[in-house]
Structure 1
């Protein structure tokens, strides 16, 4: 039975990033030579999703709030106690007068997220009321896999990989490249985890009541809290359609992302 479901997109953003302070306000130059902040580009990516009923920026920092409101975004202020984006989403959904059926968490450092990634995710949630938490994964092409392996070899924390069962249920997520890649000339299939999540509001309520997990803390990956508490996370394999997906995790990623913006003609 199809469940249409009202869907909202939240974009959590914080200024005090341990690895890259001030990251949401870092400017990225697009194909036309115009520079826009990371948070603005992430907001524009969210606004391009046709299934989204509303889009909000979530933050605890007035600098980000002011920047977001200046380019027209609706902002929900969350507490400084929120340790990650999912906790921030749990706080924000409680502030909405009209509760959505589906909450999408589009990370504020993922401006290259294509609209169809999020559309596919919302589609899975609308098609099955049994799916409580879902996230997209992308089969790595040679270029992305090389970036992941290079980052780890050079001691940088880059993208995240996902390991899943044959039915798409997540087994584990890691900042390491999993499964092990010994030879880039003949690598195993590696799935790059895309920094987007969708949840039922009840899943967010449960998440907010759990303590931070051991694996979550070790990896710095919020979605592991669901797995550690026995909640299934559905991985939705999406198609890249030739688009290189990369998040802004480190200063070196600015050039990588700008290269894709120019290649794709994204202003």
Structure 2
């Protein structure tokens, strides 16, 4: 099966305008968010092509300067999945299209590799996404964000067959008791990566935006609202910290994690 990774990147983010071009300082010096996300994509094994998908000339020019292939998409895309659908229409013939969102430079390569393997192993599944069981320290970060009114990571709940029941920017399921930093919890952090089969990706932009997607601002809820199960593939951290850049306050958090990772 041939695999395409598309990295959606837009300049006009509501919460963080210009986010893809924000520089993150790491052990290898300062690099922009979109460059670090592209490098994370290039490290994934078993991938046939990697492209940056954007509607912004500034992002496109910068990406081409560091060696990325760029696919220009329309300004009407409402989210990364719609942008990936446009990429798949321009670059047909791939069996699986991966949406590696441009705000997750700490995504380990095996998250994506395991995701693709999970979709391949489930022929009936049309969409898959990774979930990571939170330990106490990660759960504490998520809860702190919500207490301070920040939109932080997304959480997921799923059934016994690993089909997503719901995704939320609130911390679900509710759990009242405290956990030690390294103690497993019942909360799963949703990792913002998706693997799609081309047919369902092509259909997605034609579906209306439903009330849940509108309320949560989560693109994957459009699949659930249209009766398309989302396979949740559990991935392992293997000691690596994971966080997404959602707000300016996340920059020092990610820089600190990169420094510890080395």
Q: TM-score, normalised by structure 2?
A: 0.97
Question: Is contact 1:51–1:122 with CA below 8 Å preserved after alignment?
Answer: no
Residue 124 of structure 2 corresponds to 130
> In the alignment, which residue of structure 2 is the partner of 1:121?
115
Task: Say whether 1:56 aligns with 2:14.
Answer: no
Match of 1:36 among 7, 23, 31: 31
Q: Moved runs in structure 1, 4+ residues, more than 3 A?
A: 185-188
Correspondence 1:73-88 to 2 at 5 A: 73-88=68-83
Residue deviations 1:93-130 (CA, integer Å, cap 9, x gap)? 1011x420000000100000000000001112222322
Question: 2:16 matched to 1:20?
Answer: yes
Aligned to 1:192: 189
Match of 2:229 in 1: 232
Compare the two structures and name the one with the higher strand fraction. 2
Counterparts of 2:142 and 2:178, CA distance in 1: 11
Matched ranges for 1:157-236 at <5 A: 157-185=151-179, 188-236=185-233
For residues 141 and 16 of structure 1, the distance between their equivalents in structure 2, rounded to whole angstroms, comes to: 33
Deviations 1:219-254 (CA, angstroms, capped at 9, x unpaired)? 000000000000010000000001111000011111
State the aligned residue count.
259
| CA RMSD in angstroms, aligned pairs only | 1.1
Deviation per CA, 1:53-111, whole angstroms, max 9, x where unpaired? 10000000000001100100000000000000000011111011x42000000010000
Unaligned runs of 5+ in 2: none
Separation in 2 of the partners of 1:208 and 1:44? 28
Equivalent-residue separation in structure 2 for 1:168 and 1:261 (angstroms): 31
For structure 1, the residue ranges without an aligned partner over 5 or more in a row are none
State the alpha-carbon separation in 1 of the partners of residues 135 and 21 from structure 2: 29
CA drift of 1:18 comes to 0.3
